[in-house]
């Protein structure tokens, strides 16, 4: 087991070396520009699940997304880790979008739906998710398929988190002063697609991030791969 883990780590280092060489050859200014600072447009609040790497699944680049991830993407108003990320992103980086992303096949949701203890600190961490479950007990109990029930809890968890964000003073001020947009989304692991759940203050329901701007084109970009939003449609392009 130890040898296999070491092999994986060594492979990861070699992969990083190949990636860095490729990026540097593709655009010699890429890393020097990153070293000068960051100006991401998006704050991503997601799950620590290894299958949901935000930059990869959005087709973006290092420098495009400021990130906070934890087990089951639970947002707590007393979590200093989360609050420090939120404050830095909103007040200093001045991101334009906050995306709270849940996902299907979430182990945290499975744990919260279970009536047995997981053990350790995880039971305490998942308490807010258990509260969401209890608040929607009748609806969730009526869903007989385990995967569908877990997916619905993921959606309800995102809704709860978005409501918490909308009640945060720092977020409220940024919405009022510069039109900060809050998006609640769900990533379907089985198909690789992000769906807008319609929570938050964004008006679009069909765009990848719910961004709705019929007049102008918005670009969330790295130096190469770009997601271009025009109206309710998002397209990949390379520039």
Active-site choice (47, 64, 68, 133) = 47
**Active-site entry in 68, 106, 149, 183:** 106
Q: Is 64 a catalytic residue?
A: no
109 is catalytic: no
Point out the catalytic residue in the list 7, 51, 178, 188.
51
Q: Is 103 one of the annotated binding-site residues? A: yes
* Catalytic status, residue 47: yes
Among 64, 97, 101, 103, which one carries the catalytic annotation? 103
Active site residue 106: yes
Output the 3-class SS for the chain. Answer: CHHHHHHHHHHHHHHHHHHHHHHHHHCCCHHHHHHCCCCCCEEEEEECCCCCCHHHHHCCCCCCEEEEEEHHHCCCCCCHHHHHHHHHHHHHCCCCEEEEEEECCCHHHHHHHCCCCCCCCHHHHCHHHHHHHHHCHHHHHCCCCHHHHHHHHHHHHHHHHHHHHHCCHHHHHHHHHHCCEEEEEEEECCCCEEEEEEEECCCCCCCCCCCCCCCCEEEEECCCEEEEEECCEEEEEEC
Residue 224 labeled ligand binder: no
Q: Is 49 a catalytic residue?
A: yes
> Which residues are designated catalytic?
47, 49, 51, 103, 106
| Residues of the binding site | 47, 49, 103, 106
Residues of the binding site for Zn(2+): 47, 49, 103, 106
């Amino acid at each position: 087991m130890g040898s296999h883990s070491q092999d994986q780590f060594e492979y990861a280092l070699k992969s990083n070396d190949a990636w860095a060489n490729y990026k540097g050859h593709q655009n010699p200014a890429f890393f020097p520009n990153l070293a000068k600072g960051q100006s991401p447009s998006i704050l991503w609040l997601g799950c620590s699940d290894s299958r949901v790497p935000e930059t990869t699944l959005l087709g973006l680049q290092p420098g495009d997304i400021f990130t906070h991830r934890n087990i089951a993407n639970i947002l707590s108003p007393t979590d200093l880790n989360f609050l420090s990320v939120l404050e830095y992103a909103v007040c200093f980086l001045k991101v334009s979008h906050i995306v709270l992303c849940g996902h299907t096949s979430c182990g945290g949701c499975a744990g919260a739906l279970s009536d047995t203890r997981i053990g350790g600190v995880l039971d305490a961490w998942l308490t807010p998710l258990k509260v969401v479950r209890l608040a929607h007990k009748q609806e969730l109990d009526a869903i007989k398929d385990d995967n569908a029930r877990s997916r619905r809890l993921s959606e309800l968890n995102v809704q709860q988190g978005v409501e918490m964000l909308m009640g945060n003073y720092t977020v409220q001020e940024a919405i009022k002063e510069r039109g900060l947009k809050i998006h609640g989304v769900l990533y379907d692991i089985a198909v690789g697609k992000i769906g807008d759940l319609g929570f938050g203050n964004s008006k679009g329901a069909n765009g990848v991030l719910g961004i709705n701007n019929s007049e102008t084109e918005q670009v969330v970009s790295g130096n190469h791969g770009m997601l271009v939003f025009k109206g309710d449609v998002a397209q990949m392009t390379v520039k």
